[in-house]
Chain A
Amino acid sequence: MGKYDLSLIWPFFLDKLDEIIELSTEHVLVVLISVLLATIFGVSLGLFAWDKPLLRSASIATAGVILTIPSMALLALMIPTFGLGWVPTLIALALYSLLPIVRNTVVGLREVPEAVMESARGMGMSPLRVLLSVQMPIAWPVILTGLRVATQLAIGIASIAAYVAGPGLGVYIFKGLSMLGAKNALNFALTGTVMIIIIALLFDALFILIKRLTTSRGIRG
């Protein structure tokens, strides 16, 4: 392999701009959809399980086990059932995103001080009302942190989706790796990687903004 000339990446980038934008958009989309699915399922599970010791431990443990399955293996396992492309990618990413979401929902709801819980009950709030109008807003920053971690996780793992012909910037990384030594190999891999990092940073900024806008001033750090 010859010495790589970094200055060549810029012409490559301009040349492939349309495709890069398309792949980046796909990447963002696949992350958004899968984290959204995981949020709907994970937060609901957390709201239901937080005060049931057995269910709560089982949920977190299961989500933890899922996260330990190597992503290649999980994606490969899904090919027979879901084929190639978007569907297995979305399902895998949603599954991986579950742990931080479920765990932070449960932890956040349980961390609400006992005195706050007791005075809420003592004033005649129903359990559902306590959950939604007292616990949920107080736990919100913790839950949001879970969503943020889940998103970062999904952004990274999404690049492996190219393995099942999935969408996103993984396509560039895999392409680069498979033609190592060829003229544009590193250009592909590097562009894919840098774009993923940029997307991750943008999402992080977005979460900081959302946190500021949706957290009560009374509990902001």
Chain B
Amino acid sequence: MANKTGATIELLNVSKVYPNQPEPAVENFTMTINPGELVMLVGPSGCGKTTTMKMINRIIEPSSGSIKIDGQDILTLDQNQLRRNIGYVIQQIGLFPHMTIAENVAVVPTLLGWSKDKIRARVAEMLELVELDPSVFSNRYPKQLSGGQQQRVGVARALSADPPVMLMDEPFGATDPITRERLQAEFQQLQANIGKTIVFVTHDFEEAIKLGDRIAVLSKRSKIEQFDTPANILANPASEYVASFIGEGAALKRLALMRVDSAVESGNATGPAISRDENLRVALDSVVLNAGRPVPVVGGGRVSIESISAALGIDVSRLGQ
């Protein structure tokens, strides 16, 4: 695991049968995750997402199959050494209540034997990274923080030793919708900078689309129904199962993933101009508010219903025929 900015994770025919259970919780799971990639495991409750993820840091031991990180079989590594190189964030957060925020963030660096000065600097850096002012929060205790702040600390703690791999099990699942959106946006920004290899478990498809580089849609026993980019899954769901998981409004969800850039056409328009960096869902909103007439784009050109539909691959001229 020398590559600190991300490692390859390979799972090959991994299965897990819990003691006294008739059926495996995970059966023949095979997946390769590229360095720096954020893979979302999404599926209904009980389908085996958590079990699959927790086998990667051996919180759960696989019954069969092999798991490799950067080519090394994790079963041959010392369990605790392995875990110190894998950031771990769980829904219930699990901060240590008797330790200050700074001490919580310092746990893995301390286990790794870093010097006091290096740890202190690192803790401050991590807290800033998750937008908590170190001078305010370092000496507080977890119970003095809101749920959203605690989860930020959870992320900072997982990142503190700069592990190449992160495992995240519904990290934002317990927060209210507004906090969740903020945490997701911050996390997206964070991942853009740190480029870890991340396995992220969620049952929220919207969250999967928003954050994932690739999404694995899972059904019972962690069977992979489709493993592809959010845009491709939305455009071409592989089965009824996947389509039902996407739910209503697939086109709007796809638009949210696309930039205005991809739908600019030449021509003039009147109305409030929209930035090229915005997503097409916002652009469509503007067009609708503009009574369906095209809206100008900052820097030249315009977007219209037709250009947006074309960007989605829909031929508007044939609609209604």
Q: For chain B, residues 24 to 65, give those with C-beta under 8 angstroms from any C-beta of chain A.
A: 57, 59
Once the chains are docked, how many angstroms separate the CA of A120 from the CA of B92? 13
Q: A115 on the interface (CB 8 Å rule)?
A: yes
A33 at the binding interface (Cβ < 8 Å): no
Judge if B275 is at the interface, Cβ distance under 8 Å: no
A84-92, A161-169, A173-181, A212-220 - interface stretch: A212-220
**Min C-beta distance of B233 to chain A, whole Å:** 30
A218 and B143 in contact (CB under 8 A), knowing A113-B92, A122-B59? yes
B57 touches A218 (CB 8 A): no
Give the residue among B93, B99, B100, B167 with the most A Cβ atoms within 10 A. Answer: B99
Contact B141 A116 (CB under 8 A): no
Could you tell me if A122 and B92 are in contact, using CB atoms closer than 8 angstroms? no
In the bound complex, CA of A114 to CA of B74 (Å):
24
* Contacting pair A123 B111 (CB below 8 A): yes
Asked if residues B59 and A124 are in contact (CB atoms below 8 Å), the reply is no
Cβ-based interface call for A15 (8 A): no
Of residues 115 through 160 on chain A, the ones whose CB sits less than 8 Å from some CB of chain B are 115-126, 129, 134, 137-138
Interface size class of A (residues with CB under 8 A): 20 to 34
Q: Find out whether the CB atom of A124 lies under 8 angstroms from the CB atom of B96.
A: no
Check A219 against B94 for contact (C-beta < 8 Å). no
Neighbouring B residues of A137 by C-beta, 8 Å:
98
Q: Closest CB of chain B to A152's CB: distance in Å?
A: 26
A122 to B86, CA, bound (A): 8
B80 within 8 A of A: yes
User: Is B300 in the interface zone, CB < 8 Å from A?
Assistant: no
Quick one: closest A residue to B101, CB to CB?
A: A218
Instruction: Verify B83–A122 contact, CB threshold 8 A.
Output: yes
Instruction: Determine the distance from Cα of A134 to Cα of B107 in the docked complex, in whole angstroms.
Output: 11
On whether the beta carbons of A123 and B107 are closer than 8 Å, the reply is: yes
Contact A124 B94 (CB under 8 A): no
Minimum CB–CB distance from A180 to chain B (whole Å) comes to 54
Query: Does B111 contact A217, Cβ atoms closer than 8 Å?
Result: no
Say whether B143 contacts A116, CB under 8 Å: no
A217→B111 CA distance, assembly (Å)? 23
- A217 and B80 contact, CB distance less than 8 A: no
CA distance A120 to B111 in the complex (A): 11
* Shortest CB distance B56–A (Å): 11
Contact residues, B138-158 vs A (CB, 8 A): 141-143, 154, 157
Residues B55-95 near A (CB distance < 8 A): 57, 59, 79-84, 86, 88, 90, 92-95
Check A123 against B99 for contact (C-beta < 8 Å).
Answer: no
Q: A117-B94, A134-B96 are in contact. List 9 more A-B contacts (CB 8 A).
A: A113-B92, A116-B97, A119-B90, A119-B93, A124-B81, A138-B97, A218-B98, A218-B100, A218-B141
Binding site for A on B (CB under 8 A): 57, 59, 79-84, 86, 88, 90, 92-100, 107-108, 111, 141-143, 154, 157, 167
Interface positions of A (Cβ within 8 A of B): 113-126, 129, 134, 137-138, 216-219
Q: Which 6 residue pairs across A and B have the least CB separation, nearest first?
A: A218-B141, A119-B94, A115-B92, A124-B83, A115-B94, A122-B88
